[in-house]
């Protein structure tokens, strides 16, 4: 410690009586100086060490007059000193003591007595700080004669003690009275006598009250608590009015929370099955991949997963969807108003988005099901910047094939799949985000040992989202989509072969959106897809095989589109969305193709020439505009009508002789002979929200026309056919229907109920067709199911326990059936007489599933969180008919058999662990 | 497991007492001084005795009032143990100057009337303000001589180890010649010229109640009456509870005349209670003090030469507020029962839900709500009986009884940290509850909770916290120790012949005084004095 350096000099003035004590220090700690003064004088000094800590002083003054010396010493600090009885000195921060008592003021020369800081103590009145206490004002024994008396006081903050201005005080009963506190927190409130309650509110304070018992005028100082903000569960109410206020029609958006409560077979979150619970979406039957939207075929749905196109969205013949439920975030299904940024399919768009990985913490989840197990892990690669999400899923589903019926053809087969997702999201800054998406899936199955199938989906994409401004965003994405399948056949040793197909597409999309421009939202962009399809390749599978290797020529094409859309809120009630998409499709070489007689349908008999084109030359271009219009008019706040008109173009076609999606389906691009499919839809609807958005109801009607839909001749060769155009019959379709829906999106009981009446009919009206089906008249499509009732219900007992019910009824689908047997003399063999195409219907379909879900416990400190789903698929055990087939059993004649896939209740359970 | 809590009903004791010969109870109060400054501490010793001056351990609470005029009075409750009580009263800074009267009595003594109350004049001077209308001060010309140390009488010899001490140094006191069975008080107070004339004025006490008062043999008897809002005078389940982390629930007993009696322990340190009742009205507390009509303050006499002496003490009361306190007040916790809850939840460990109803439903085991008529009730499921209690639940928030369960259900659950569920049967006197749910907030202050109608907060002071004389610890030597009373012990017996105290920063003469009361009622005393001088 530094030695205190004090120069003390005694100056004795010769012959004088005055001696001065000079005190001199320089930059010394104040506490040491004060101790030194105490030692040198008779004064007792008091101070609070914390208040002088760290202070240094310099002084060079005379100690003769102690008061001026101390003032000199403490000059420049906020310390004040009080001398008492000329023996005590109190040094306090900004505080004085009373040094003379007011009662003795009469003996002081100057009458005024200095006010010490202690005076605050005298006005230290009790403050009304409790809401629950009754504050008595006035004296019970001496009640005022007036009805209203004046209560005055000061309002201060509990926390800071500062006066609070602008605080409102209101008395409502028995007589209304109010006051606002002034600048110094002071108020004057006229108060009726008796027991009253004062309601107090203001900025930044908690709304409160004070209860008074008023006898007479008086003072009441009030202390208020500052507002305490608690972070609570935020209930998002945005989107509540979406049903009524969205200009788009026929859009279904579901978040993963909603998706999770819908019971699905085997306890898996299966997006395709959930899509099938929505009105207007139909399937051919259970375990059939693909779905039909408003009369469209299965290949007319654009299925997007993080911008990537998924060609085969199913695993295991449709038992499972290609999307792993653990990585999903939300999905949107566009049935009628398809935004112009989407194109290339004429029926619907199903847009599925995955979650982004957690940027803060690592965690994962393991789920165990009866058929599949999956895991996922996610976390930051760089905190708050980059995250990853990895997910994998595999199956051990061979046993299920053992229990399905013999006739399904799947019995005793072997099947398995796995898939993997990888997602990386990176935030460069608040305006730039980059997302990388990778998906791989592999399926294999064989019904008999000799014939094996496998198929693969590969998707990869990169998306960059850039915000120019808060209301101006752009996204650019590019990627690669791939699908292939292969079969191996060893049935005949001499003819063992491997056959494969693959389709590749490379895409680039850019999309721009500006919103909030006086009710306008603009959206525009460019899309481009480069196709590379290998329609088929056959190789001998073994050395001994005599099968010739054959490779079909590749199909290349470029599809480009530009689009723009404008959403305009003309008035609060009227809103329109108008968009146009113009697309070009160019089939590119090299290719060798045939030409046929002009004006005739291509057949093998009217081949004119064979043309060979070298290089990537343009062979044939199709182009056209697509219109996307919709409008909404609000009749009431909760009631709107909407109408829409859409046209769509599709340049890629599924080559399949079944209506379901099958792994062996191949895809064909439009070319010189295969025209693009065209779709046109008119729709209108009424939308009504009841109970403040608690219940959403809607009625939508549509009429849809399809052109150049592909149907095939009987006996068509679909695989390895280099001249498929000869087996194709151009068909037109029409579909119409009404969809009624009641939805309760939230609450303890939630779900939806829908009824749809719809028809889908096809016609081969081209006069060039030799023998059109049904004589060129309309006939029902195979997925024409006029009546359909769907119910998805979920009841939350608590936030953890819920039960779900899923009910599905539909008219049986039509089928062509033999009705009689006759002896055909021209052939010389018994033959069957069939009904018109799809004239007879199989029995109606009805199924009910239930599940009980237990979500993770609310205990946050638990290390793992488990959730659990148990349920029964097809609770009623109804043997729903998938198809009817006939067998000629000799003497017993032709017998019909019903085939059902899940004819018994199937219990399922799944168990998930999150960590 | 069933637990039964029985509060001993004072009625039982009441009948026992009436069978016994009715004792006559008296109080004697010793104070460290008789002249105080407003803002000073007043040290008290209370002795309980019978009319023959024998020690009598009967009442648990002594009511002590400093009676002044209409605007100035102090009322405290002092806990009595073994016929002895001590207390420190912080005299308000706002007390007006004048001669007050200290009156002490017990609830039982009120049956005999005010003539047997202990009475003593006390002078108070307000050094911080002066108002000729409020403060009764007369300045006299003749100076009062400073107190001199008189020679010991009564054979009590008091000695200190030295005659001169420095500041902040230890003083050993030896007391000799104390009698057995006599209680003494010992004070070490700075000598001065300020004192109060021991002269009592005639005072008009209110007429005593016809109804006989029960003696407070176990603790405090809190009296209340039901104030109906309408015509329906029916009420049920009167109760008192105390805010805090412990559960303090007291069921009231309804007497024939409608008065409600709560038999509580002495509740040291409690300042507020929550009074609730089921019925169309609310409880109003009845003051346990006698409502003495105010009279005018008598004037204190001062001379201008006493200014310095008063200024010194004035400085002391100011610095008590300005300097950090060195000694920490110890308050005894008021525990009532210590039962283990069946289920306990720290809500911070769980996902939060916006309402209590949801919180119960989601994870609070055993607790749910039911609707009975228009009221929502909180119910507890008892595993043992396998049944719900139909809403017969005692609901406590920070120890406060919530009579209207809806009040709690509409309270923001984010404020609450702990929920304890007690299943089984709990009996409070005549009230039976099948289960308790106790909600506690982190600071036990139930932020922004609004009690509905018939629950009110009543300011109701419990007994003063038991507090003996405390020496400052002098952790910071630059902070003043300006004690005027260096020591106070109201409970000196023949065994306490060696005592010690510490001097303060105040120099001057100090008087050590031992005072006792003989069986004859005679005050006997012994004194000595010493000097404190600044060491340089």
Q: Given this model, what pLDDT does residue A881 score? A: 85
Q: Span A797-826, mean pLDDT?
A: 86
Q: Where does a domain end: B450, B474, B492?
A: B450
**Angstrom distances, CA of residue B25 to CA of A157, A418, B128:** 49, 93, 40
Starting at the edge strand that comes first in sequence, how are the strands of the sheet with B367-372 ordered?
B367-372, B375-382, B387-388
Q: Which of B5, B62, B14, B524 shows the shortest CA–CA distance to B248?
A: B5
Residue A389 has pLDDT above 60, yes or no: yes
Q: Given this model, what pLDDT does residue A12 score? A: 34
A576 touches A555 (CB < 8 A): no
Extract long-range pairs of A886-894: CB within 8 Å, 24+ residues apart: A886/A817, A886/A818, A886/A832, A893/A821, A894/A818, A894/A821, A894/A832
Task: Kindly list the residues from chain B whose CB atom is less than 8 angstroms away from the CB atom of residue A799.
Answer: 353, 358, 361-362
Q: Do B94 and A122 touch (CB under 8 A)?
A: yes
Q: Which secondary structure element, helix H or strand E, spans residue A215, and what is its range?
A: none
Tell whether B368 is within 8 A of chain A (Cβ). Answer: no
More confident residue, A520 or A120: A520
Count how many residues are written for chain A: 915
* Whole-number percent of chain A with pLDDT over 90: 29
B77 touches B288 (CB < 8 A): yes
Burial of A50 (0-12, 13-18, 19+ CB in 10 A): exposed
What CATH number does the domain containing B138 carry?
Answer: 2.60.40.1930
What are the start-end ranges of the H helices in A316-404? 398-403
- Looking at every residue in chain B, the average pLDDT score rounds to 82
Residue B6 has pLDDT above 90, yes or no: no
Please indicate, yes or no, whether residues B61 and B140 belong to a single structural domain of this protein: yes
Which range has the worst mean pLDDT, A505-514, B374-383, B429-438?
B429-438
Residue A350 has pLDDT above 70, yes or no: yes
Q: Which of B21, B48, B7, B61 shows the shortest CA–CA distance to B216?
A: B61
Q: Which residue of A has its CA nearest to B348?
A: A860
Distance CA A539, CA A885 (A): 34
Q: Given this model, what pLDDT does residue A2 score? A: 40
Q: What are B143-168's pLDDT values in tens digits? A: 666 555 555 466 788 889 999 999 88
Residue B62 lies in a domain: yes
Which of A765-769, B206-210, B387-391 has the highest average model confidence (pLDDT)?
B387-391
Residue A366 has pLDDT above 50, yes or no: yes
Please indicate, yes or no, whether residues B111 and B56 belong to a single structural domain of this protein: yes
Distance CA B156, CA B149 (A): 14
Please provide residue B308's backbone torsions phi and psi, each rounded to the nearest 5 degrees: -65, -40
Residue B388 lies in a domain: yes
Residue A237 has pLDDT above 50, yes or no: no
Residues 6+ apart with CB under 8 A from B228: B235, B279, B280, B281
Q: Given this model, what pLDDT does residue A685 score? A: 93
N-term to C-term CA, chain A: 57
Q: Do A118 and B459 touch (CB under 8 A)?
A: no
Please indicate, yes or no, whether residues B390 and B520 belong to a single structural domain of this protein: no
Tokens found for residue B319: 């610095």
Please indicate, yes or no, whether residues B39 and B186 belong to a single structural domain of this protein: yes
Which range has the worst mean pLDDT, A98-112, A482-496, A662-676?
A98-112
* Whole-number percent of chain A with pLDDT over 70: 90
Q: What are A445-493's pLDDT values in tens digits? A: 887 778 888 999 999 999 999 999 888 999 999 999 999 989 898 888 8
Q: Do B456 and A134 touch (CB under 8 A)?
A: yes
Q: Do B322 and A206 touch (CB under 8 A)?
A: no
Q: What are A510-538's pLDDT values in tens digits? A: 999 998 788 899 999 999 999 999 999 99
A813 touches A765 (CB < 8 A): no
Please indicate, yes or no, whether residues B507 and B419 belong to a single structural domain of this protein: no
N-term to C-term CA, chain B: 71
ipTM for the complex? 0.77
Q: Which of A327, A298, A312, A251 shows the shortest CA–CA distance to A683?
A: A251
Whose structure tokens read 């046993």?
A399
Distance CA B472, CA B503 (A): 10
Label residues B70-89 b or e (16+ Cβ within 10 Å = b): eebbbebbbbbeebbbbbbb
Residue-by-residue DSSP string for A842-877: PPPEEEEEEEEEEPPPSBTT-S-EEEEEEEEESTT-
Q: What are A782-791's pLDDT values in tens digits? A: 889 999 999 9
Residue B305 lies in a domain: no
Chain centroid, CA A158 distance in Å: 43
Tokens found for residue B433: 């509850």
Residue B133 lies in a domain: yes
Residue B229 lies in a domain: no
> CA angle A509-A512-A515, nearest 5°?
150
Q: Which of A473, A529, A539, A526 shows the shortest CA–CA distance to A505?
A: A529
Q: Which secondary structure element, helix H or strand E, spans residue B77, and what is its range?
A: strand B73-79
Please indicate, yes or no, whether residues B409 and B496 belong to a single structural domain of this protein: no
Q: How many CB atoms lie within 10 A of CB A463?
A: 20
Q: Where does a domain end: B386, B415, B450?
A: B450
pTM of the full structure: 0.65
A474 touches A465 (CB < 8 A): yes
Please indicate, yes or no, whether residues B504 and B360 belong to a single structural domain of this protein: no
Q: Which of A56, A73, A22 shows the shortest CA–CA distance to A6?
A: A22
Q: Do A46 and B476 touch (CB under 8 A)?
A: no
Residue B384 has pLDDT above 90, yes or no: no
Tell me how close the Cα of A99 comes to any Cα of chain B, in angstroms.
Answer: 7
Q: Which of B116, B97, B192 shows the shortest CA–CA distance to B149?
A: B192
Q: Which of A904, A896, A857 shows the shortest CA–CA distance to A878?
A: A904
Burial of B338 (0-12, 13-18, 19+ CB in 10 A): exposed
**Interface mutation vs chain B, best among A31, A35, A101, A139, most B CBs within 10 Å:** A101
Q: Do A124 and B93 touch (CB under 8 A)?
A: yes
Q: Span A503-515, mean pLDDT?
A: 94
Q: How many CB atoms lie within 10 A of CB A530?
A: 16
Q: Which domain holds residue B125?
A: 25-201+466-533
Please indicate, yes or no, whether residues B30 and B177 belong to a single structural domain of this protein: yes
Please indicate, yes or no, whether residues B477 and B429 belong to a single structural domain of this protein: no
Strand partners, B37: B125
Counting the structural domains of chain B, the total is: 2
Least CB-CB distance to A800: which of B135, B318, B362?
B362
Please provide residue A431's backbone torsions phi and psi, each rounded to the nearest 5 degrees: -105, -15
Please indicate, yes or no, whether residues B117 and B175 belong to a single structural domain of this protein: yes
Tell me how close the Cα of A795 comes to any Cα of chain B, in angstroms.
Answer: 14
Least CB-CB distance to A104: which of B307, B319, B459?
B307
Task: Kindly list the residues from chain B whose CB atom is less than 8 angstroms away from the CB atom of residue A95.
Answer: 322
Chain centroid, CA A601 distance in Å: 48
Q: B15 pLDDT band (50/70/90 cuts)?
A: very low
Residue B87 lies in a domain: yes
Q: Which residue of B has its CA nearest to A32?
A: B478
Please indicate, yes or no, whether residues B493 and B366 belong to a single structural domain of this protein: no
Q: Given this model, what pLDDT does residue B4 score? A: 37
Residue-by-residue DSSP string for B387-453: EE-TT--EEEETTEE-SSHHHHHTS-GGG--EEEEE-S-EEETTEEES-EEEEE-TTSS-TT----T
Distance CA A834, CA B474 (A): 113
Task: Kindly list the residues from chain B whose CB atom is less than 8 angstroms away from the CB atom of residue A860.
Answer: 349-351
Q: B8 pLDDT band (50/70/90 cuts)?
A: very low
Tokens found for residue B256: 């024939």
B471 touches B450 (CB < 8 A): no
Which range has the worst mean pLDDT, A9-13, A258-262, A820-824?
A9-13
- Looking at every residue in chain A, the average pLDDT score rounds to 84
Q: What are A845-894's pLDDT values in tens digits? A: 998 988 888 888 888 777 788 888 888 888 898 888 887 888 777 777 77
Least CB-CB distance to A118: which of B128, B310, B450?
B128
More confident residue, A397 or A568: A568
Q: What are A44-66's pLDDT values in tens digits? A: 899 888 888 888 888 888 888 88
Residue B372 has pLDDT above 60, yes or no: yes
More confident residue, A204 or A838: A838
Tell whether B126 is within 8 A of chain A (Cβ). Answer: yes
More confident residue, A12 or A115: A115
Chain B residues 305-324 with a CB less than 8 Å from chain A:
307-308, 310-312, 314-315, 318-319, 321-324
A281 touches A295 (CB < 8 A): no
Task: Kindly list the residues from chain A whose CB atom is less than 8 angstroms away from the CB atom of residue B478.
Answer: 31, 34-35, 45-49
Dihedral sign for Cα atoms in the order A292, A293, A298, A302: negative
More confident residue, B180 or A646: A646
Strand partners, A586: A558, A621
Residues 6+ apart with CB under 8 A from A16: none
Q: Which secondary structure element, helix H or strand E, spans residue A73, and what is its range?
A: helix A66-73
Please provide residue B264's backbone torsions phi and psi, each rounded to the nearest 5 degrees: -115, 160
Please indicate, yes or no, whether residues B438 and B352 belong to a single structural domain of this protein: yes
What CATH number does the domain containing B386 carry?
Answer: 2.170.130.10
Q: What are A148-178's pLDDT values in tens digits? A: 888 888 888 876 677 888 899 999 888 889 9
Q: What are B453-488's pLDDT values in tens digits? A: 677 777 777 787 776 777 777 766 788 888 899 999
Q: What are A397-451's pLDDT values in tens digits? A: 666 666 666 665 566 677 888 999 999 999 998 889 999 999 999 998 887 778 8
Q: What are B78-100's pLDDT values in tens digits? A: 989 888 888 888 888 888 899 99
Residue B177 lies in a domain: yes
Residue B458 lies in a domain: no
Chain B residues 433-472 with a CB less than 8 Å from chain A:
447-451, 455-459
DSSP annotation of A902 reads: -
Q: Given this model, what pLDDT does residue A10 score? A: 36
Label residues A547-576 b or e (16+ Cβ within 10 Å = b): beeeebebbbbbbbbebbbebbbeeeeebb
Residues 6+ apart with CB under 8 A from B123: B34, B35, B36, B98, B99, B100, B194, B195, B196, B300
């Amino acid at each position: 410690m530094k030695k205190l350096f004090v120069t003390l000099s005694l100056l004795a003035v010769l012959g004088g009586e005055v001696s001065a004590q000079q005190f001199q220090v320089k930059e010394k700690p104040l506490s040491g100086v004060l101790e030194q003064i105490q030692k040198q004088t008779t004064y007792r000094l008091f101070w609070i060490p914390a208040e002088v800590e760290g202070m240094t002083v310099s002084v060079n003054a005379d100690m003769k007059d102690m008061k001026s010396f101390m003032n000199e010493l403490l000059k420049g600090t906020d310390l004040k000193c009080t001398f008492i009885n000329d023996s005590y000195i109190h040094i306090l921060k900004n505080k004085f003591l009373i040094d003379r008592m007011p009662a003795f003021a009469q003996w002081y020369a100057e009458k005024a007595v200095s006010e010490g800081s202690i005076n605050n103590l005298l006005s230290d009145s009790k403050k009304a700080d409790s809401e629950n206490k009754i504050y008595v004002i006035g004296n019970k024994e001496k009640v005022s004669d007036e009805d209203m008396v004046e209560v005055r006081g000061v309002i201060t903050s509990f926390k800071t003690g500062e006066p609070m201005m602008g605080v409102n005080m209101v008395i409502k009963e028995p007589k209304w009275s109010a006051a606002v506190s002034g600048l110094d927190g002071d108020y004057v409130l006229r108060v009726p006598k008796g027991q009253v309650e004062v309601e107090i509110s203001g900025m930044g304070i908690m709304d409160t009250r004070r209860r008074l018992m008023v006898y007479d005028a008086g003072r009441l100082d009030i202390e208020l608590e500052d507002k305490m903000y608690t972070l609570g569960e935020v209930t998002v109410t945005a989107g509540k009015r979406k049903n009524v206020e969205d200009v788009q029609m026929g859009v279904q958006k579901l978040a993963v929370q909603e998706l999770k409560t819908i019971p699905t077979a085997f306890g898996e979150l299966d997006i395709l099955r959930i899509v099938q619970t929505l009105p207007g979406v139909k399937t051919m039957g259970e375990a059939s991949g693909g779905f039909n939207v408003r009369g469209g075929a299965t290949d007319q749905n654009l299925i997007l997963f993080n911008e990537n196109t998924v060609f085969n969205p199913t695993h295991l013949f449709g038992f499972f969807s290609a999307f792993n439920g653990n990585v999903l975030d939300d999905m949107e299904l566009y049935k009628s108003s398809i935004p112009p940024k989407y194109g290339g399919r004429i029926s619907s768009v199903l847009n599925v988005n995955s979650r982004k990985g957690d940027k803060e913490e690592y965690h994962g989840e393991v789920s165990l099901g009866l058929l599949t197990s999956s895991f996922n892990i996610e976390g930051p690669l760089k905190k708050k910047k980059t995250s990853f999400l990895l997910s994998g899923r595999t199956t051990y589903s061979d046993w299920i094939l053992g229990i399905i019926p013999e006739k399904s053809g799947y019995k005793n087969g072997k099947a398995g799949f796995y898939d993997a997702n990888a997602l990386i999201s990176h935030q460069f800054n608040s305006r730039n985000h980059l997302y990388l998406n990778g998906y791989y899936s592999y399926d294999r199955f064989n019904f008999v040992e000799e014939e094996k199938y496998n198929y693969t989906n590969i998707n990869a994409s990169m998306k960059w989202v850039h915000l120019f401004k808060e209301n101006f965003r752009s996204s650019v994405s590019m990627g690669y989509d791939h699908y292939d399948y292969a079969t191996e056949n060893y049935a005949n040793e001499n003819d063992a072969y491997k056959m494969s197909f693959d389709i590749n597409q490379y895409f680039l999309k850019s999309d721009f959106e500006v919103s909030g421009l006086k009710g306008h939202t603009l959206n525009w962009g460019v899309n481009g897809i480069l196709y590379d399809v290998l329609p088929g390749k056959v190789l001998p599978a073994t050395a001994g095989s005599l099968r010739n290797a054959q490779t079909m020529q590749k199909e290349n094409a470029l599809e480009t589109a530009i689009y723009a859309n404008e959403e305009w809120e003309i008035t609060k009630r009227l809103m329109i969305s108008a968009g146009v998409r113009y697309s070009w499709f160019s089939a590119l070489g090299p290719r060798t193709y045939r030409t046929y007689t002009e004006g005739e349908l291509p057949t093998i008999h009217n081949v004119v020439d064979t043309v060979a084109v070298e290089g990537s030359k343009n062979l044939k271009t199709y182009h056209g505009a697509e219109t996307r219009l919709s409008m909404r008019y609000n009749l009431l706040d909760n009631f709107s009508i909407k109408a829409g008109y859409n046209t769509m173009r599709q340049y890629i076609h599924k080559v399949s002789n079944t209506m379901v999606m099958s792994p062996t389906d191949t895809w064909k691009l439009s070319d010189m002979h295969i025209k693009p499919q065209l779709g046109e839809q008119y729709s209108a609807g009424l939308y009504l929200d009841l109970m403040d958005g608690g219940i959403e109801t809607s009625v939508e009607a549509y009429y849809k026309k399809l052109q150049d839909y592909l149907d095939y001749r009987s006996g068509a060769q679909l695989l390895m056919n280099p001249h498929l155009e000869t087996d194709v019959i151009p068909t037109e379709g029409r579909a119409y229907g009404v969809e009624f829906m009641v939805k309760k999106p939230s609450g303890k009981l939630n779900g939806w109920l829908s009824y749809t009446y719809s028809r889908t009919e096809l016609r081969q009206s081209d006069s060039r067709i030799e023998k059109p089906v049904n004589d060129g008249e309309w006939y029902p499509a195979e997925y024409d199911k006029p009546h359909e009732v769907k119910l998805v219900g979920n009841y939350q007992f608590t936030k953890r326990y819920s039960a779900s019910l899923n009910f599905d009824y539909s008219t049986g689908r039509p089928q062509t059936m033999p009705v009689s047997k006759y002896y055909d003399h021209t052939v010389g063999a018994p033959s069957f007489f069939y009904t018109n195409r799809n004239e007879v219907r199989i029995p109606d379909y009805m199924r009910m599933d239930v599940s009980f879900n237990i979500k993770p416990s609310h205990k946050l400190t638990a290390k793992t969180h488990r959730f659990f789903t148990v349920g029964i698929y097809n609770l009623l055990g109804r043997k729903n008919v998938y198809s009817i087939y006939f067998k000629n059993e000799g003497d017993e004649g032709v017998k019909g058999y019903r085939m059902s896939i899940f004819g018994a209740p199937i219990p399922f359970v799944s168990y998930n662990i999150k960590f | 497991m069933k637990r039964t809590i029985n509060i001993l009903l004072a009625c039982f004791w009441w009948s026992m007492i009436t069978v016994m010969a009715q004792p006559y109870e008296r109080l004697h109060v010793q104070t460290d001084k008789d002249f105080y400054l407003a803002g000073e501490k007043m040290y008290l010793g209370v002795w309980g005795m019978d009319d023959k001056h024998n020690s009598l351990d009967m009442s648990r609470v002594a009511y002590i009032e400093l009676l002044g005029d209409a605007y100035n009075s102090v009322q405290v409750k002092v806990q009595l143990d073994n016929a002895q009580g001590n207390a420190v009263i912080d005299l308000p800074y706002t007390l007006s100057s004048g001669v007050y009267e200290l009156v002490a009595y017990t609830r039982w003594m009120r049956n005999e009337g005010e003539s047997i109350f202990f009475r003593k004049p006390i002078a108070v001077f307000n050094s911080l303000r002066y108002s000729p209308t409020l403060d009764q001060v007369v300045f006299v010309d003749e100076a009062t001589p400073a107190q001199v140390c008189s020679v010991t009488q009564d054979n009590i010899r008091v000695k200190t180890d030295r005659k001169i001490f420095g500041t902040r140094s230890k003083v050993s006191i030896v007391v000799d010649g104390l009698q057995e069975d006599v209680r003494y008080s010992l004070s070490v107070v700075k000598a001065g010229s300020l004192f109060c004339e021991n002269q009592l004025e005639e005072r008009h006490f209110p007429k005593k109640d016809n109804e006989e008062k029960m003696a407070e043999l176990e603790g405090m008897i809190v009296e209340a009456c039901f104030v109906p809002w309408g015509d329906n005078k029916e009420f049920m389940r009167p109760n008192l509870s105390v805010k805090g982390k412990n559960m303090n629930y007291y069921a009231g007993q309804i007497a024939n005349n409608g008065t409600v009696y709560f038999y509580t322990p002495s509740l040291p340190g409690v300042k507020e209670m929550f009074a609730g009742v089921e019925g169309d009205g609310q409880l109003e507390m009845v003051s346990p003090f006698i409502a003495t009509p105010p009279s005018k303050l008598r004037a204190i006499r001062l001379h201008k030469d006493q200014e310095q002496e008063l200024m010194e003490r004035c400085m002391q009361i100011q610095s008590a507020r300005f300097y950090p306190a060195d000694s920490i007040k110890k308050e005894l916790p008021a525990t009532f029962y210590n039962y283990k809850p069946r289920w306990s939840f720290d809500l911070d460990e769980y996902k939060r839900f916006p309402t209590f109803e949801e919180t119960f439903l989601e994870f609070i085991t055993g607790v749910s709500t039911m609707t009975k008529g228009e009221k929502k009730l909180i119910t507890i499921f008892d595993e043992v009986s396998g049944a719900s209690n139909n809403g017969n639940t005692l609901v406590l928030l920070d120890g406060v009884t919530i009579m209207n369960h809806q009040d709690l259900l509409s309270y923001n659950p984010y404020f609450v940290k702990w929920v304890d569920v007690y299943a089984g049967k709990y009996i409070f006197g005549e009230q039976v509850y099948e289960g308790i749910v106790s909600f506690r907030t982190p600071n036990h202050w139930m932020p922004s909770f609004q009690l509905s109608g018939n629950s009110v907060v009543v300011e109701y002071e419990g007994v003063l916290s038991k507090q003996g004389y405390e020496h400052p610890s002098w952790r910071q030597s630059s902070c003043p120790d300006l004690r005027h009373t260096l020591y106070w012990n109201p409970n000196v017996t023949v065994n306490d012949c060696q005592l010690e105290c510490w001097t303060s920063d105040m120099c001057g003469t100090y008087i050590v005084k031992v005072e006792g009361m003989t069986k004859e009622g005679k005050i006997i005393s012994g004194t000595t004095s010493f000097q404190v001088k600044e060491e340089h």
